[in-house]
Structure 1
Amino acid sequence: MISLFACFPESIASFSPEFTVNTWNLRSLSQVPCSLGHGFRFPRQLRRLRTILTCSDSSSQSWNVPVLSSSEVIDRLKQARKGQQQFLAMYSSVVDGITTDPAAMVLPLDDHMVHRGHGVFDTAMIINGYLYELDQHLDRILRSASMAKIPLPFDRETIKRILIQTVSVSGCRDGSLRYWLSAGPGDFLLSPSQCLKPTLYAIVIKTNLAINPTGVKAEANGAYAGIWVSEDGFIAEGPNMNVAFVVNGGKELVMPRFDNVLSGCTAKRTLTLVEQLLSKGMLKSVKVMDVTVEDGKKADEMMLIGSGVLIRPVIQWDEEFIGDGKEGPIAKALLDLLLEDMRSGPPSVRVLIPY
């Protein structure tokens, strides 16, 4: 049987002193005049005081849940987020402002992105004080929001200005900017029809851009990432990045078609940069085509491509090593080209942050 207990910091009228410890039960409380109706209610003089409710089962096990004031909630959030130095700034359209306090970087629980997954997100890298391919990523998230039937809380230029200002306030010169468009808060129903208005959230994260030259493994269990495969048996993509292969003796770069997979901004930029390897003779051709799992595992090189990983070599897929099980020359050359583009590329791919 579940019983309600309550304890107070001092004696309360109508209760004997021995009841100021965690030993009140429903029988004790029932001796106090209180309103009748559906269920038990504390008398008015008790409801005005801070309480701690304790639940207990038949085995006398109990737990205490404090009822906190808003200032106590903030203090506890600060303690819980202590040491989270990588979160530098967050914008929320719910409050229409930017905070640099990790404890205040919160979302409404009734936001449909939280409990229904009705939201879209994207990420742009911050390199040496520049946002890399912000316009390209922004165009993509706006297309995604349209397909997800999420109205925009602001026009495109206002969203861009907010994102740039959030990075500026953070002071971050190397990291990442992640941002979301959501159906917004309102209720816990399936339909977003009662959502107050769509929301924009953005957070600046200080990240380590150090590259792992040893590569990663791709398999279903216990590895870095899994690989999606279409119903036709063709390789699609990774969990949140594209894939590419080097075949034909290390002379041909192949990417799966973008028809039904992530239209990767980094992958598309890589296809532009790879022209430099063609001109140097490191590669003979580049193709976007269907790739089977069997052909992928037999490739000379395999790599993951995306904003979060940049270009990361895959050295093993399931039980099979890719090539010689080490980072290949094409993956390394493409990574160098991408890093150089991020540091000194044209204005079309870099937005200067006004700190």
Structure 2
Amino acid sequence: MSDELIIYLDGEYVKESEAKVSVFDHGLLYGDGVFEGIRFYNGRIFKCKEHIDRIFAAAKAIMLEIPMSKEEMKEVLIETCRRNNLKDGYIRLVVTRGRGDLGLSPTKCPKPTVFCIASTITLYPKEMYEKGMPIITAAQRRNKATIVDPQVKSLNYLNNILAKIEANRAGASEALMLNHDGIVAECTGDNIFIVKDGVIYTPPIHVGILDGITRRTIMDLAKEMGIEIYEKEFTLYNVYNADECFLTGTAAEAIAVTQVDGRTIGSGVAGPITKKLLKAFQEYARNNGEPIYE
């Protein structure tokens, strides 16, 4: 296989064709593990510390002991990018419960599996950032935080995938998920924001969402710009009647939503606040982060 990526796997850097995980790994058998999607721009890993802190927090929540320190994990991220000679792209960092038996018990998994992939990434088409995207509301409800907390970025993404299937069948790029009370939560892979009368609103963590790192960055940038922003519960009614709507995520960055369930949002194209925040985010991301090649 030509032009193979170099993958970090349990202490070694191997060709992707040689990067193999056991069929008895509980990450595969039961979705027992955690992961992070991380961007790097201009030779810098964006929000490196925050991503590492979040995967350690998620691992703690599921009583998974990561077999390395945070500093060692940072070096893995950097070295994986270096070995693939990449300056811009996407990292997938995964920690599973490791190899066990066919039973459910994690006590039969003596050693977690850790692997790291660094590659390029395909974003939404450029024109979509101007025209915005149509989305639908999924019938699939977001996991309740009292059952499987969405703050844990676990390998079991079936809840999100079922909603994504609904989006695909409807010909939409994304699906909006509500919680069990009908409150807007998030999309299958992105957090959601709405703008009304110059004020930004985004759902609070407790409604059942991932505490997105891009979400937090956008909130900080909005505050620096003097734009009012609040974490507040809202329903589909508020989304349909918003002046602007946009999604944030590691891959998407910040992208406008211009139609929801057939309702046109605002003017039907990316709004001024969305465009302003996207520009500010991209400038910030390209100039901040953990250096890869220094």
TM-score bucket of the superposed structures, by smaller chain: 0.7 to 0.9
Structure 1: distance between partners of 2:91 and 2:12: 16
Which residue of the partner structure matches residue 179 of structure 2?
230
Counterpart of 1:344 (choices 284, 287, 290) is 287
AA in 2 matched with 1:89: I
Structure 1: distance between partners of 2:5 and 2:258: 34
TM-score scaled by structure 1? 0.69
Kindly provide the CA deviation profile for residues 237-278 of structure 1, in whole angstroms up to 9, marking residues without a partner as x.
111221000112xx1111111223111111111111112432
Q: How far did 1:331 drift?
A: 1.0
Which residue of the partner structure matches residue 267 of structure 1?
215
3-state DSSP of counterpart to 1:189: coil
3-state DSSP of counterpart to 1:109: coil
Segments of structure 1 that go 5 or more residues without pairing to the other structure are 1-77
Larger gyration radius, structure 1 or structure 2? 1
Whether the 8 Å CA contact 1:225–1:238 is kept in 2: the answer is yes
3-state DSSP of counterpart to 2:242: coil
Asked if residue 88 in structure 1 is aligned to residue 5 in structure 2, the reply is yes
Count of matched residue pairs:
258
If asked which structure has higher relative contact order (CA below 8 Å, sep 6+), I would say 2
Segments of structure 2 that go 5 or more residues without pairing to the other structure are 139-169
Q: How far did 1:308 drift?
A: 1.3
Q: How far did 1:106 drift?
A: 2.9
Structure 1: distance between partners of 2:58 and 2:30: 16
3-state DSSP of counterpart to 1:226: strand
Which residue of the partner structure matches residue 201 of structure 2?
254
Which residue of the partner structure matches residue 193 of structure 1?
107
Q: How far did 1:152 drift?
A: 1.2
Identity of aligned residues (%): 28
Kindly provide the CA deviation profile for residues 208-231 of structure 1, in whole angstroms up to 9, marking residues without a partner as x.
456432222211433111111122
User: Once superposed, which parts of structure 1, at least 4 consecutive aligned residues long, lie more than 4 Å away?
Assistant: none
Structure 2: distance between partners of 1:105 and 1:315: 41
Which residue of the partner structure matches residue 156 of structure 1?
70
Which residue of the partner structure matches residue 239 of structure 1?
188
Q: How far did 1:328 drift?
A: 1.0
RMSD of aligned residue pairs (Cα, Å): 1.7
Asked if residue 146 in structure 1 is aligned to residue 85 in structure 2, the reply is no
Which residue of the partner structure matches residue 329 of structure 1?
272
